[in-house]
């Protein structure tokens, strides 16, 4: 699991972004000032650092300069996330070695796209995907499976199925119950990969890519994922 460190004086910001990152599958650590942040980075060796410019005991781009100048941390992307949207601040961040620069407030999609730009994914994903479990019914030409999702994305999902009739290329129909208070949504898809068991007695995972998805269904799915990532669906 990739690790991310957030350095920001705002507890509210840290909680919101930490929750979103955790639901995207990341392990999150945080600090409220530069000194503590450097200590957390040294201990955790993260894949990426999110930092506010204006934190206690810091002079603007101190963090970028310190990390980029240290061979032990020079390869860690540092992304500035700040209320300071001035062009000169952006230029100073680039000169200091920062990898990216975002202004608050952030949306779930802002966070997702920032991660795609700055982390070394084998496949870059423009569409959001979350580790989230909901009830699902998968129908093949001759079988029906009641199961749970492992991940859901705007373009597909991973479900728990272990049956020889399901193989790469299988065409399936999908019913997803996104919440107890809403009707199921119906989609069509194709099995594009099989994931072997990750632990003894665990079900095999089946990766499905959506096909022929209607615009209204796509919008409903996107809204659900963004709310789930931000925690709004729990309010």
Per-residue pLDDT reduced to its tens digit, 171-189? 999 999 988 888 899 999 9
One domain for residues 63 and 29: yes
pLDDT value at residue 1: 77
One domain for residues 229 and 175: yes
Could you give the CA distance from residue 175 to residue 183 in angstroms, rounded to a whole number? 10
Chosen domain end from 86, 118, 150: 118
Is the residue at 220 inside a domain? yes
One domain for residues 213 and 164: yes
Give the residue, 127 or 231, on which the prediction is more confident. 127
Domain region containing 89: 3-118
Chosen domain end from 98, 118, 138: 118
One domain for residues 111 and 145: no
Q: Among residues of the chain, what percentage have pLDDT more than 70?
A: 94
pLDDT digits (tens, 9 = 90+) for 52-82: 988 887 776 888 888 888 898 999 999 999 9
Length of the chain: 235
| The dihedral formed by the CA atoms of 16, 18, 21 and 26, expressed in degrees to the nearest 10 | -170
One domain for residues 146 and 226: yes
Give the residue, 125 or 32, on which the prediction is more confident. 32
- Averaged pLDDT, 193-217: 79
Is the residue at 123 inside a domain? no
30: CATH = 3.40.50.2300
Q: Where are the alpha helices (DSSP H) in the chain?
A: 11-23, 34-44, 62-68, 87-96, 108-118, 215-230
- Averaged pLDDT, 207-233: 88
One domain for residues 187 and 110: no
Sign of CA dihedral 85, 91, 94, 96: negative
pLDDT digits (tens, 9 = 90+) for 12-23: 999 999 999 998
Is the residue at 124 inside a domain? no
Task: Answer yes or no: is pLDDT of 154 > 70.
Answer: yes
pLDDT digits (tens, 9 = 90+) for 109-148: 999 999 999 998 766 777 888 988 999 999 998 899 999 9
Structurally, the chain folds into a number of domains equal to 2
One domain for residues 84 and 133: no
Task: Answer yes or no: is pLDDT of 226 > 60.
Answer: yes
Task: Answer yes or no: is pLDDT of 235 > 70.
Answer: no
One domain for residues 100 and 188: no
What is the residue-averaged pLDDT of the chain?
88
Q: What's the pTM?
A: 0.77
pLDDT value at residue 200: 53
141: CATH = 2.40.10.220
Task: Answer yes or no: is pLDDT of 202 > 70.
Answer: no
Residue 82: both structure tokens together: 């700040």
Detail the DSSP E strand segments found in the chain: 3-7, 27-31, 48-51, 78-82, 100-103, 129-131, 135-139, 144-153, 156-160, 171-177, 185-195, 205-211
Rounded to 10°, the helix 11-23/108-118 angle is 70
Sign of CA dihedral 66, 68, 69, 70: positive
């Amino acid at each position: 699991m990739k690790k991310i460190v957030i350095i920001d004086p705002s507890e509210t910001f840290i909680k919101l972004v930490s929750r979103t990152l955790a639901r995207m599958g990341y392990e999150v650590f945080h600090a409220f000032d530069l000194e503590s942040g450097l200590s957390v980075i040294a201990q955790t060796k993260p894949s990426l650092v999110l930092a506010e410019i204006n934190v206690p005991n810091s002079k603007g781009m101190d963090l970028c300069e310190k990390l980029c100048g240290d061979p032990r941390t020079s390869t860690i992307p540092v992304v500035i996330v700040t209320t300071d949207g001035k062009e000169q601040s952006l230029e100073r961040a680039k000169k200091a070695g920062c990898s990216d620069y975002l202004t608050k407030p952030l949306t779930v999609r802002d966070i997702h796209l920032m991660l795609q730009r700055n982390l070394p994914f084998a496949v870059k994903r423009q569409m959001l995907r979350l580790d989230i479990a909901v009830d699902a019914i998968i129908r093949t030409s001759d079988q029906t499976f009641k199961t749970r999702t492992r991940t859901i994305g705007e373009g597909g999902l991973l479900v728990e199925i272990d049956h020889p009739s399901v193989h790469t290329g299988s065409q399936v129909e999908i019913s997803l119950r996104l919440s107890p208070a809403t009707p199921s949504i119906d989609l069509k898809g194709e099995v594009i990969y099989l994931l072997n068991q990750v632990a003894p007695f665990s079900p095999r995972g089946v990766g499905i890519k959506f096909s022929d998805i209607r615009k209204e269904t796509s919008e409903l799915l996107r809204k659900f994922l963004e709310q789930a990532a931000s925690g709004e669906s729990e309010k």
